[in-house]
Amino acid sequence: MFAQIPQPLRYAEALLTQHASLTRSASVEALLGRLVQAAAQLTGCELSQLYLLDDSHTRLTLSAEWLDGLLQPREAASLPSDYDGEQLLQYCLCQNRVLSLSELDGSLHQTGFLPGGARSWRSLLCLPLSDAGARIRGLLLCASAQSRELQGFASSLGHLGGCAISHLQLLQRLRRPHDQDQDGANGEIVTPCASGYGLIGDGASMRAVYRLIGKVLHNPVSVLLTGETGTGKELAARAIHDCGLRRSRAFVVQNCASLPENLLESELFGYRKGAFTGADRDRPGLFDAADGGTLFLDEIGDMPLLLQAKLLRVLQEGEVRPLGSLETHRVDVRIVAATHRDLRALVAEGRFREDLFYRLSHFPIELPPLRERGEDILRLARHFADKACAFLQRDVCRWSDAALEHLASYAFPGNVRELKGLVERAVLLCEGGELLPEHFNLRPDPLGCDSTLNLRERMERIERSLLLDCLRKNNGNQSQAARELGLPRRTLLYRMERLNISPSDV
């Protein structure tokens, strides 16, 4: 309709007309079709496309296309395209920025998403579309076979597309329940499902986690995952990697508490031949292995102070210096860190660098303990039981009501990890095809006091329970448990002996 914008009043009138047309749309198909039609007519482009992200942000679907004055058939426009190989689309999504090219060069730019044929596309405008919560939901694209400057249309099309996204979500909420199963197939926008990003849980606390993960998928900032042991921090880290733009590259895991300081440094940063005794060759570190991908640093609170300083430099400068080398080299690594410890308390004690803490905690995500996810316990239990039965190649076990009540009333100090182990053991013990309470080895409440015990005996029982919980939380590592309890290791060993705590109890 308008190749340029020389008449602002006329263009504004046309924009308002298109806006009114969108808000009158009573169906998803009509809304999406009118949006691409409006984009093409307002810019005077021969092509307009609308791409929508799925709920996990791993799939970009061509949901509507306007070409040469005609809305293309729905069947031809609904093929999903993984945007991992489309650099231009990736740029707009990852950077959340408008892309405008007045001289599109097929030899320099990947344009596989544009219709082929004899036509050569010369100019391109691509802009991200966000909802009211500033979450990216898709891309609106316009292209022309002529060399044109399209940047001036970005602001008005962004507002028009945002209006369409809001109306799309409204139509989705108004749809009947039996129609909701078609959302994914139609490429419509849905909120994170109960099993969002590979995690299981439908409670309010887990939905809050899904929302945070969705915000950080296409943002390169570092992420700090916190929460008690066994809450699924590594699963969340894998979800951030697998559903983000780096999913085609390496996901490398290192537990910072599993290696002594010198070995951990060489493992992370690598070394050069001759750096120390036994270094007979150059060896790249985990930062090099994760270049272009994600490095997951578990138990970051146990990293020695010297290595914390080197990690801070990597985060700030993107540079790594291997042991025995005088030169640095650049790496592109996303850091996802996790800890069950209170890093603020460690900073106050001088055991964790304050500058590194603030650098890592740009985007914290706290995983809730299982005791606060009562509505998810039974769902997780059924999931673990079905997986265990499939692994053992046996029929799915039935659940007795008594067994479900038994699980629902337990506090699960070991969280999801403990639940998984309990259910897998119960499946092994189950011989009649039905899971019963006696198949579950649930520990009694450690604080439950026998009225026949005197004060000293009751205090010893509580102390024994606290020591056991701390040792289990630290996977039996006595040095870490002693540090967490604020005790010398020798004192911890003495108390373990006095309270009759053996490694088998842990």
Q: Domain coordinates of the chain in residue numbers?
A: 8-186, 196-366, 372-439, 455-498
Contact 28, 171 (CB under 8 A): yes
Provide, rounded to the nearest whole percent, the portion of the chain with pLDDT above 70: 87
> Which pLDDT value is given to residue 452?
57
Phi and psi for 354 in degrees, rounded to 5?
Answer: -65, -40
| Residue 40 host element (H or E) | helix 28-43
* Distance, CA of 165 to CA of 171 (rounded, Å): 10
Reported CATH class of domain 372-439: mainly alpha
Name, of 296-310, 404-418, 445-459, the range with top average pLDDT: 296-310
DSSP 8-state code for residue 335: E
Listed in sequence order, the residues at least 6 apart from 498 whose beta carbon sits closer than 8 Å to its beta carbon are none
> Which pLDDT value is given to residue 192?
36
Overall average pLDDT of the 59-84 stretch: 72
Name, of 59-63, 98-102, 493-497, the range with top average pLDDT: 98-102
Instruction: State which amino acid sits at residue 211.
Output: R
Residue 383 has pLDDT above 50, yes or no: yes
Overall average pLDDT of the 393-419 stretch: 87
Overall average pLDDT of the 360-368 stretch: 91
Name, of 103-117, 191-205, 357-371, the range with top average pLDDT: 357-371
- CA nearest neighbour of 234 among 263, 198, 204: 198
Confidence of residue 82 (pLDDT cuts 50, 70, 90): low
* Distance, CA of 465 to CA of 187 (rounded, Å): 52
Residue 218 has pLDDT above 90, yes or no: no
Quote the tokens at residue 232: 């699924």
Average pLDDT value over all residues in the chain: 82
Contact 443, 405 (CB under 8 A): no
Residue 141 has pLDDT above 80, yes or no: yes
> Which pLDDT value is given to residue 448?
46
Contact 474, 341 (CB under 8 A): no
* Distance, CA of 89 to CA of 80 (rounded, Å): 14
Angle (CA) 242-245-248 rounded to 5° is: 60
> Which pLDDT value is given to residue 268?
93
Q: Are 8-186 and 455-498 the same fold in CATH?
A: no
- CA nearest neighbour of 313 among 263, 249, 268: 268
Q: Regarding predicted confidence, which is higher, 11 or 367? A: 367
Confidence of residue 11 (pLDDT cuts 50, 70, 90): confident
* Distance, CA of 229 to CA of 215 (rounded, Å): 24
Residue 96 has pLDDT above 70, yes or no: yes
Q: Is 253 helix (H, G, I), strand (E, B) or coil?
A: strand
Does the domain at 8-186 match CATH 3.30.450.40? Answer given as yes
Point out the least confidently predicted range of 156-170, 214-228, 447-461.
447-461
> Which pLDDT value is given to residue 193?
39
Provide, rounded to the nearest whole percent, the portion of the chain with pLDDT above 90: 31
Confidence of residue 244 (pLDDT cuts 50, 70, 90): confident
* Distance, CA of 156 to CA of 115 (rounded, Å): 25
> Which pLDDT value is given to residue 444?
58
* Distance, CA of 442 to CA of 435 (rounded, Å): 14
Q: Regarding predicted confidence, which is higher, 502 or 428? A: 428
CATH level 2 (architecture), domain 455-498:
Orthogonal Bundle (1.10)
Q: Which CATH number fits domain 196-366: 3.30.450.20, 3.40.50.2300, 3.40.50.300, 3.30.420.40?
A: 3.40.50.300
Confidence of residue 291 (pLDDT cuts 50, 70, 90): very high
Question: Residue 252's CB: how many other CB atoms inside 10 A?
Answer: 20
Phi and psi for 255 in degrees, rounded to 5?
Answer: -90, 115
> Which pLDDT value is given to residue 56?
60
